[in-house]
Amino acid sequence: MTGKKILMVGCGALGIATAKRLQASGYEVIGARRSISKLPADLPGIAIDITRPETLTALSQHNWYAVIVTLTADSFNHEAYQATYVDGLNNVLNSLESPSSGSSQAPLVIFSSSTSIYHQNNGAMVDESSETLPTSFSGQAMLAAEQQLKNYSGVSCALRFGGIYGRGLGRLAQRLTEGFICPSEPVLYSNRIHFEDCCRAIVHLVDLHQQQVAFAPCYLAVDSKPSLLREVMEWLAVKQGLNIDELQGTEAPVRGGNKQCNNAALLKTGFVLEYPDYRAGFAPFFAEQ
């Protein structure tokens, strides 16, 4: 395994944490982002801008074993999502398949996608076979990016992450301390995955590929308990010592829909969640109480 080279494109918090896990497994990892000065000292970097194809020429000079794409748009609007997730991913894929590419075969590509590609908003259960007709610009951009992966000549996989949490108590806990909670009605399901399990899911797929185990072109990467948002907030409120009756039930989610995401397909590949539900994920923050 040692010596197999992996490129992390869009090397922010998720990319850096995943890179550390891959390094610990013996892979040679290089981070690619616009400002490589923000990378850890022990993570080599390549300065690129995925929106400018001319900056990607250096990528084709390496023999990549895998390329992991964990992008973050600069803004939450149509233009930024199109430039980053659609055009940006297309530029990366083109650079990997260019005639001058140093790879003897097309590298594995793993793309960090989102459950926003699902349009279902009535609490229905969805899986990888469910229809995807997103109406939001974010979901449409993610779906368009996934379509590009299907045309890629090598093995690829889109991990459809739910709401990523676990690097702090996050927005829900903050809104509770500010005096707000979501109403009990209408019922609203939410889906999440712990930050560490995001990293582990990516590494899991790389390891499967290294073992020559085939996997599907996409997986829902969420924990095992789609939960009512009200239930999650009530649990957090109690843990924070707040009186639920004193909270204003006017909190509305900024993003997300109302669906239950089924992670059975990912679990069938042998992946085991470290944090199977929100209680396990948030528990360490209250361990000393």
Structural domain contains residue 185: no
Q: What pLDDT score was predicted for residue 186?
A: 87
User: What pLDDT, on a 0 to 100 scale, did the predictor assign at position 97?
Assistant: 79
pLDDT at position 253: 72
- Identify whether 242 is part of a domain: no
Residue 208 within a domain? yes
Confidence at residue 200, expressed as pLDDT on a 0 to 100 scale: 98
The secondary structure of the chain, three-state, reads CCCCEEEEECCCHHHHHHHHHHHHCCCEEEEEECCHHHCCCCCCEEECCCCCHHHHHHHHHCCEEEEEECCCCCCCCHHHHHHHHHHHHHHHHHHHCCCCCCCCCCCEEEEEEEHHHCCCCCCCEECCCCCCCCCCHHHHHHHHHHHHHHCCCCCEEEEEECEEECCCCHHHHHHHHCCECCCCCCCCEECEEEHHHHHHHHHHHHHHHHCCCCCCCEEEECCCCCEEHHHHHHHHHHHCCCCHHHCECCCCCCCCCCCEECCHHHHHCCCCCCCCCHHHHHHHHHCCC
Q: What is the pLDDT of residues 188-226, one digit of tens each?
A: 999 999 999 999 999 999 999 999 999 999 999 999 999
The CATH number covering residue 211 comes to: 3.40.50.720
Q: Does 201 map to a domain?
A: yes
Domain that holds residue 61: 5-166+192-224+263-268
- Within a domain: 243: no
Q: What is the rounded CA–CA span in Å between residue 249 and residue 181?
A: 5
pLDDT in single tens digits along all 289 residues of the chain: 457 999 999 889 999 999 999 999 999 999 999 888 889 999 999 999 999 999 998 888 889 999 999 999 989 999 999 999 999 999 999 998 765 555 567 899 999 999 999 999 999 999 999 999 999 999 999 999 999 999 999 999 999 999 999 999 999 999 999 999 999 888 899 999 999 999 999 999 999 999 999 999 999 999 999 999 999 999 999 999 999 999 998 887 766 679 999 999 999 999 999 999 999 999 999 975 5
Q: What pLDDT is attached to residue 154?
A: 92
Contact status, residue 191 vs residue 115, Cβ threshold 8 Å: yes
* Number of separate domains in the chain: 1
284 within domain boundaries: no
What pLDDT is recorded for position 62? 87
CA–chain centroid gap for 29, Å, is 19
Peptide bond into 186 cis (omega under 30): yes
Q: Tell me, rounded to whole angstroms, the distance of Cα 175 from its chain centroid.
A: 24
The predicted-structure confidence for 149-175, as pLDDT tens digits, reads as follows: 999 999 999 999 999 999 999 999 999
pLDDT at 255: 65
Inside any domain, residue 280: no
Asked if residue 240 is part of any domain, the answer here is: no
